[in-house]
Copies of this chain bind each other. A is one copy, B any other.
Amino acid sequence: MRMSELSERSGVAIPTIKFYLREQLLAAGERTSPNQASYSEEHVARLRLVRALLDVGGLTVASAKDVLRAIDDTAMPLDWAFGVAQHALPGVVPDVDEAELEFGTRAVDDVLAANGWEVTSDNPGRATAARVLSAYEKLGETSLVTVLPEYLRAAEIVAEADLSVVETVSSRAEMVQTVVVGTVLGDALFAGLRRIAQERASDIHFPDQGQQA
**How far in angstroms is the closest Cβ of chain B from A142?**
10
Contact of A93 among B55, B123, B178 (CB under 8 A): B55
Inside 8 A of A140's CB, which chain B residues have their CB?
Answer: 45
A123-B195, A139-B49, A191-B128 as given contacts; A165 in contact with B146, CB under 8 Å:
yes
What secondary structure prevails in chain A residues at the interface with B?
A: helix
Whether B147 lies near A165 (C-beta < 8 A) is: yes
Contact of A125 among B52, B86, B159, B191 (CB under 8 A): B191
Which stretch in A12-20, A31-39, A196-204 binds the other chain? A196-204
Whether B91 lies near A193 (C-beta < 8 A) is: no
Whether A191 lies near B187 (C-beta < 8 A) is: yes
On A, residues with C-beta under 8 Å from B are 45, 48-49, 52, 55-58, 77-80, 82, 86, 89-93, 108, 112, 117-120, 123-133, 135-136, 138-141, 143-144, 146-147, 150-163, 165-169, 177-178, 181-183, 185-202, 205-206, 209-210, 212-213
> Which partner residue on chain B sits nearest A140 by CB separation?
B45
**How far in angstroms is the closest Cβ of chain B from A181?**
5
How many subunits of this chain does the assembly comprise? 2
Contact of A193 among B45, B152, B169, B206 (CB under 8 A): B152
A144-B182, A154-B158, A196-B125 as given contacts; A132 in contact with B82, CB under 8 Å:
no
Inside 8 A of A158's CB, which chain B residues have their CB?
Answer: 147, 150-151, 154, 194, 197
